[in-house]
Amino acid sequence: MLSTANRYIILFLTGIFCLLNLSASAQKKSKVQIRNSNTAEFIMNTNPAINKFLGDVFITHGDIKMYCDSAYQVKELNTLEAFGNVHIINADTVHIYGDYLKYFGNTKFAELRNNVKLQNKSVTVTTHFLDFDMNESVGYYYNGGKIVDAKNVLTSDIGRYYTKQELLFFKDSVKAVTTDYTLYSDTLKYHTVSKVAFILGPTKIVGEKETLYSENGWYNTQSNISQFFKNTTLDSKSYQIKGDSIYLDRNNELARIFKNVELRDTVNNLILKGNYLETFKNTEEALMTDSAVFIQITEGDSLFLHSDTLKIEKDTAKFERIKAFHHVKFYRKDMQGICDSMVYTMQDSTIRLFNNPVLWSQQNQMVADTIGIQTKNEAIRYLHFRGSAFLTAKEDTTFYNQIKGRNMLGHVKENKLYKLDIRGNGETLYYPVDKKVIMGMNIAKSSNINILIENNKIDKIIFLKKPDGNMYPLFEVKKEMKFLKDFQWLDEYQPKSKEDIFIWKQYTPIRKLNTLQKKPLKKGTL
């Protein structure tokens, strides 16, 4: 049994809770008040009763103000309909206009139709269909709308405007127009203060010279800085760029692309691949690093080249120039090579290899101080070997045909070396073959020599000046006679497939090793 005192306490607390609930209910369901009208009519014989107000109608609901030409109020349901020149003011800064309003006072929910306009600070939303939640201060449209702020015009089928957060959300057929570009999107968010647009679905941004596609990212329309993260592609008339992430600074005309990067030059049939790309539009430069690969596409075969860094730039004549530097290695079925740095100039269609270059073609190994590969219509025409030129071809497991000179010029037809001109300090060491039998070893010297090659073998040697040479039968050939000075067989460095271009072994020409060995040690060194 409860004591009398306990019963009074329980009744007292119950009464307080009831009062609190009644107060909350009353606060939630405050009545819509008609503050002014020119005429009024009260129709009591309907269920529920309807009150009609005509002319200069002024309505309040808490801190919400409403104006219209006429209104029908159902006081029992705490609802009203407003007609003509409807104007709602919510939280002082939000102004909504329309031809028709249906307002639900218990939920503070407004339905506006026809010629609807919502204004909040610098943002204006226009539509024919707008629902507005006064509690959350959120507007919705479902059958098309337009948003205008200081710089941008945006349209979409579906839209939400969170006025407190100053955030716009758009869905379906989204289109944004600025002075610099037009944006088409499936889903978009836009913050009206920061001027940042957030891409949440398939989106295309079309500029005067470029088009960007992405499915996730953000774009600051004020600073012109953006970043995109999913299925992103940047297209122009002359190139296409793809990557996992693309950062763009339009003011400085700078782009940075990260991971799985591909730049495709559609004019010159060139591809750059890597994991980091930086491009400067104003200087028309591009820098690729991190697993950088250069691919030259041709009908017969493609050239695959890897180096630490790849750079595309314009020369003084505005022709494109590609530079590769440090640990350069390339592969094509008919030609492979290594060097420390390389330059490919579009003006003369020539690839130049620098710093310990080695070139392999048709079973021939070629080295020089610098090597030039001159092309025309995507086919090799000439091979230029300048300084300490040395060509080696393996005859069998122990014999090597060798040609060296100061400079050499290789003539190529249908991607096959058919003639070699040696100019200055020419030397030859080769093994004539008759019916697959090696006849001996021929050594000759002449300042200038022309060599004709057929089926990858030396067919004829033409000495332009009287040679100094000799023919030795094989039984007289001693080990030390088999090699010209600075001979070096470099088969272990040759890339045998396009995958081998990523495997690097340091190579130093034997002539440089000999030079280093001859240098006296400095005092105090071991």
What per-residue confidence (pLDDT) applies to 519? 52
Question: Looking at the domain assignment, is residue 267 inside a domain?
Answer: no
What per-residue confidence (pLDDT) applies to 510? 82
- What confidence tens digit (pLDDT) does each residue in 155-186 have? 999 999 999 999 999 999 999 888 888 999 99
Asked if 311 and 285 count as a contact pair (C-beta separation under 8 A), the reply is: yes
Question: Looking at the domain assignment, is residue 378 inside a domain?
Answer: yes
- Which residues, 6+ apart, have CB-to-CB distance to 323 below 8 Å? 310, 311, 312, 313, 341, 342, 343, 344
| Cα 102 from Cα 112, distance rounded (Å) | 7
- What confidence tens digit (pLDDT) does each residue in 41-66 have? 998 888 889 999 999 999 999 999 99
What per-residue confidence (pLDDT) applies to 515? 60
- Among residues 88, 111, 138, which one ends one of the domains? 138
Question: Looking at the domain assignment, is residue 15 inside a domain?
Answer: no
- Which residues, 6+ apart, have CB-to-CB distance to 5 below 8 Å? none
CA dihedral (281, 285, 288, 292) positive or negative: positive
What per-residue confidence (pLDDT) applies to 7? 52
CA distance readout (Å), 328 to 285, 331, 463, 493, 517: 20, 11, 36, 12, 26
Question: Looking at the domain assignment, is residue 210 inside a domain?
Answer: no
What per-residue confidence (pLDDT) applies to 415? 79
- Among residues 122, 138, 154, which one ends one of the domains? 138
| Cα 155 from Cα 175, distance rounded (Å) | 5
What per-residue confidence (pLDDT) applies to 405? 95
- Among residues 119, 138, 157, which one ends one of the domains? 138
Question: Looking at the domain assignment, is residue 96 inside a domain?
Answer: yes
pLDDT profile of the chain (526 residues), mean per 10: 48 46 51 95 89 96 95 95 96 92 96 96 93 94 90 90 92 88 92 90 90 93 90 89 92 91 86 92 84 84 91 85 93 92 90 94 92 86 94 90 95 89 94 88 93 85 88 91 93 94 88 61 42
- Residue 471 lies in domain: 357-499+510-517
Mean pLDDT, the chain, integer: 88
What per-residue confidence (pLDDT) applies to 86? 97
The CATH number assigned to the domain holding 382 equals 2.60.450
Number of domains observed in the structure of the chain: 2
pTM of this prediction exceeds 0.95 = no
Question: Looking at the domain assignment, is residue 470 inside a domain?
Answer: yes
Question: Looking at the domain assignment, is residue 463 inside a domain?
Answer: yes
